Amino acid sequence: MTLQRLIITFKPEELEIRTLYRRRNQDGPGPNSKACRREVEELSREGLRQALASLEGGAECVGTSGFTTREDILSVALPRPDEPAAARRAAS
């Protein structure tokens, strides 16, 4: 599976995480199975870990909207999954 997007929504009594992903093939657990839920949970955790690690290096504000309620959009460069770990460490 490849993570495409995480959307985090804070609500008064809950935190909602929408995980958009793409499967490489159609083989795998059914959409309502425990195995599928575990896979999506782990994919979401990894995406959140990457986002937090990337914010440590700083982020650029690339857009804003709203007046009294604001929505700022942050852009952070993430390492590519196919990039060797040594190259990522050297770039830091």
In whole numbers, what is the pLDDT of the chain averaged over residues?
A: 79
7 pLDDT higher than 60: yes
Locate the domains of the chain by residue range: 2-91
- Average pLDDT of the segment spanning 57-81: 74
Residue 65's beta-bridge partner residues? 71
Which of these ranges, 15-19, 80-84, 88-92, has the smallest mean pLDDT?
A: 88-92
pTM for this predicted structure = 0.63
Q: Is 90 helix (H, G, I), strand (E, B) or coil?
A: helix
pLDDT above 60: residue 88: no
Q: Is the pLDDT of residue 51 over 60?
A: yes
DSSP character string of 37-81: HHHHHHHHHHHHHHHHHHHHT--EEEEEE-SSS-EEEEE-----T
